[in-house]
Amino acid sequence: MIPLAEIEAARERIAGAAVRTPLVRLPDTDIWLKLENLQPVASFKIRGATNAIRAASPEELAGGVVTASAGNMAQGLAWAAREAGVPATIVCPDHAPKTKLERIERLGGRVISVPFDDWWRAIEESHFEGAQGLFVHPVQDERVMAGNGTIGLELIEDLPDVDTVLVPFGGGGLISGIASAVKALRPGTRVFACEPETAAAVTAALAAGEPAEVEYTPSFVDGAGARTVLPAMWPLVREVIDGAHVATLDETAGAVRLLAERVRVIAEGAGALTLAGALSGRVGGGRIACIVSGGNIDFSVLTRILAGETPA
């Protein structure tokens, strides 16, 4: 696990950048929502990105920073890089939502849009040919995971008797950080990964006992799911999670609608996966905390979902 001391140090390091997000109760339930969509970049990614940059040496940052991201890590890194006064280059898959790409550019990041396979290769290799600077891996950078883990510190402080924590899974950096903190402070608390039916890599890995490639189908849940669990992440993920939950696109769209209607919260697809899991009843009962990881959703997609549709 990520050492608790590293996560606590990250909390001090990111103070003044990431905000302590509220934990609110879904009315008439024992489901609690950790609203990371209220961060300055509308996602949790500002935590890990800021910690990675503030922990880096001047020599590491001399050439700027680079990452590969579907949008949210890109925004977090661009924001943190702008604050640090260094350039940021972002390699994005060509299916990334326009909302996220425009936000990256407004934050001063340079976007390189590539086919999914090229983007995934950059993640696997922690490198992209032609992009100079410190590569801040969106998933397996320990400084990023420690920053993500600060969510777990806040959660246990605010809800110490939580039974289950549900975390969206894209590459494993978020759940590894949160679960490391939660398990260190409350070992009996269960932590489940939530992923879309269109890219359920964790479920496949748990069934096979090792990373297994699944068919990846792009969907409106663009910030979660993967083709496979990265080999470097599997030992850590396997150690800290208690299982995985797969949500259908219909369930996820329904959770987006419910968040908007009952809590007045705008969540992207990945951010609503956890509530979809909690509402399904398939992750058990008790007191459940859902990490609402972000709110960067194209308004055209949100409009269709609020009208009762399930976009592809």
Q: Which residues are catalytic?
A: 45, 293
**Under a CB-based contact definition with an 8 Å cutoff, are residues 95 and 30 in contact?**
no
The CA-CA-CA angle for residues 215, 216, 219, to 5°, reads 140
87: exposed, middle or buried (Cβ count in 10 Å: 0-12, 13-18, 19+) = middle
Helix spans in 126-268 (H): 142-158, 173-185, 201-208, 234-240, 249-258
Q: Could you tell me the CA-to-CA distances from 223 to 6, 70, 278 in Å, in that order?
A: 26, 6, 19
Who's near 274: CB < 8 A, 6+ residues apart?
166, 167, 168, 194, 290, 291, 292, 293
As a whole number of angstroms, the distance between CA 206 and CA 210 comes to: 7
Residue with tokens 């396997």, as numbered in its chain: 238
As a whole number of angstroms, the distance between CA 103 and CA 125 comes to: 26
φ/ψ region of 133 (left if φ > 0, alpha if ψ in -120 to 50, else beta) reads left
Beta-carbon-side half-sphere exposure of residue 106 (alpha carbons within 13 Å): 9
- Give the SS3 label for residue 2: coil
**Which helix (H) or strand (E) covers residue 77, if one does?**
helix 72-84
Q: Could you tell me the CA-to-CA distances from 297 to 91, 212, 301 in Å, in that order?
A: 19, 29, 7
Centre a 10 Å sphere on the Cβ of residue 262 and count the other Cβ atoms it contains: 12
